Amino acid sequence: MEYLPLFVDLRSRKVVLVGGGDVAARKAELLLRANAALVIIAPALNSALQQLCEQQYFTWIEGEYHPQHIEKSYLVIAATDDAELNKKIFHDAEKQQIFVNVVDDKPLCSFIVPSIIDRDPVVIAISSGGTAPVLARLLREKLETMLPSYLGHMAEIAGRWREKVKSSISSMRERKRFWEKSFSGHFASLVEKGQLSQAELQLEKQLYEPDNTGELVLVGAGPGDAGLLTLKGLQVLQNADVVLYDHLVSDEVLELVRRDADKICVGKRAKAHSVLQEETNALIVTFASQGKKVVRLKGGDPFVFGRGGEELQIAAEAGIPFQVVPGITAAIGATAYAGIPLTHREHSQSVTFITGHCKEGGNELDWPALARGNQTLAIYMGTVKAEHISQQLIHFGRSPETPIAVIGCGTRQNQHVLSGKLYELAELAHQAPAPALLVIGEVAALHQQLAWFGDQVEKNRWRSAVLELA
């Protein structure tokens, strides 16, 4: 180990930074976040540093560097573009036994600044020992996606409660279990939701009245492409004990679930219900009652034709804490990947999301309103009733020539887009791979011009070339 990792308290300590350019500005921002008594030496400052100086965030010595400037300083950083000056600063600091860092010059560094993940008071530092700073930055970016922003708040609260927990639980092993349960349980969820006072009440409850109730989290998995899963959704999947998922969730997204979590398919398909909704509800209550963190992973968004509201009602009635992590719904994701804007100033002033699979005995759709022009209809689960949909829309006045698109397996590598007219909807829906989204409206015709994802792009280019030759 070439460098010993240290966390240094710089509060109100003199730190000298030589340089007034962009690099110096980045270093200054970091030092000010650590509340250092910053002194900057430079003939001139860039605009960012000038603004900070006007707000008196640091002391500026306007002019050239002299060795006496670094006397009694705690750290020195050289960030100039003058190699000889940087070398002089290094040797001056070494003579005074002051830690010094010359930016981007490892041999002239007695300390190095790592890549930092800041969840104050939780701080994570990553270093390659100055050999590959870009690699350290890439590692930091990967870890950033795994560490939720609320960690700092959680650590702050835990710090205030540390002595109280210590006095109440004498066994070190039991204290460890207490904090492990807190940091992965309902206390953490309350902090995540910004309910900090309730979080402290939860800690108190766990301390004096142990509670084994678990939690339900509804997570939208998006339409298929794992890259469209939200950062928060990924973090929740990494902490799940049980994941109840449906058929619309792609294998790529399921690969992101914590390895030791139980994964149970509770999917439903039209005319082939593998798991009744009542059975899913029962599983949610059963697992949560066992103290487990249950993730209900749904394709798209859980609140857009995903029965998410119904499942939350069950959790609420059972006294199970819950939260929701939204996802990119199919109408947003699939149309974007197909190059079909849902609204367009020239073609569509509104968009309506519709389900083609209503609850039995439910209200019939308002066909006269849906048949009006200059609007886009995005229809979920509509392939089975595609013929009825087209007939009703044409009957109530929508032109049979209205452009349509049927997007199968939207956002996935096997995405397939079929374009046509409204009178062809049933035929195209029958050909499309499942799951499929129906798009009706003038904007659907823009797919030929705006397609950018998958092999559909090449097909459209070929089609355009044929039309030009014709």
Q: What is the pLDDT of residues 383-394, one digit of tens each?
A: 999 999 999 999
The confidence score (pLDDT) of residue 467 equals: 47
365 three-class SS? coil
pTM for this model (two decimals): 0.73
318 vs 185: CA distance, rounded Å: 17
The confidence score (pLDDT) of residue 180 equals: 82
Return residue ranges of the chain for CATH 1.10.8.
148-211
**Which of the residue ranges 269-278, 309-318, 323-332 would you say has the lowest mean pLDDT?**
269-278
- Catalytic amino acids? 246, 268
Q: How many Cα atoms are found within 13 Å in the side-chain-facing hemisphere of 234?
A: 16
Say whether pLDDT at 465 is over 70: no
DSSP state letter for 113: P
Residue 152 near residue 191, CB atoms below 8 Å: no
| Multiple choice CATH, 148-211, 1.20.1530, 1.20.58, 1.10.405, 1.10.8 | 1.10.8
Extract the annotated binding site for S-adenosyl-L-methionine: 223, 299-301, 304, 329-330, 381, 410
**Which of the residue ranges 110-114, 163-167, 362-366, 418-422 would you say has the lowest mean pLDDT?**
362-366
Say whether pLDDT at 330 is over 90: yes
Fold classification of 14-113 is Rossmann fold (3.40.50)
Q: Which CATH architecture has domain 213-328?
A: 3-Layer(aba) Sandwich (3.40)
Fold classification of 331-469 is 3.30.950
326 vs 73: CA distance, rounded Å: 50
Omega before residue 435 within 30° of 0, cis: yes
Closest C-alpha to 240, from 220, 221, 214, 276: 214
Supply angle C-alpha 377, 343, 297, rounded to 5.
Answer: 65
Extract the annotated binding site for NAD(+): 22-23, 43-44
Which long-range contacts (C-beta less than 8 Å, at least 24 apart) are formed by 7-10?
Answer: 7/123, 7/125, 8/34, 8/74, 8/75, 10/34, 10/35, 10/36, 10/74, 10/75
The Cα-based distances of 200 to 53, 54, 70, 188 in angstroms read 40, 40, 46, 10
| pLDDT, tens digit (0-9, with 9 covering 90-100), for 12-50 | 999 999 999 999 999 999 999 999 999 999 999 999 999
Say whether pLDDT at 460 is over 70: no
Return residue ranges of the chain for CATH 3.40.50.720.
14-113
User: What end-to-end distance do the CA atoms of the chain give, in Å?
Assistant: 70
Length reported for the chain: 470
Residue 331 near residue 223, CB atoms below 8 Å: no
Residue 308 near residue 218, CB atoms below 8 Å: yes
* H/E stretch holding 243: strand 242-245
Burial tier of 237 (Cβ tally within 10 Å: 0-12, 13-18, 19+): buried
pLDDT confidence of 466, banded at 50, 70, 90?
very low
Closest C-alpha to 352, from 331, 383, 368, 381: 331
Q: What are 79's two structure tokens?
A: 């960030």
- DSSP bridge pairs for 122: 119
Left (φ > 0), alpha (ψ -120 to 50) or beta: where does 213 sit? beta
Q: What is the dihedral of CA 290, 212, 182, 205, to 10 degrees?
A: 160
Closest C-alpha to 340, from 226, 462, 455, 449: 449
The confidence score (pLDDT) of residue 446 equals: 97
Q: What are 278's two structure tokens?
A: 């009542």
291 vs 321: CA distance, rounded Å: 11
Residue 24 near residue 17, CB atoms below 8 Å: yes
Return residue ranges of the chain for CATH 3.30.950.10.
331-469
Phi, psi of 22 (to 5 degrees): -65, -40
The confidence score (pLDDT) of residue 364 equals: 80
Q: What are 64's two structure tokens?
A: 């050239």
Closest C-alpha to 219, from 258, 181, 270: 258
163 vs 165: CA distance, rounded Å: 5
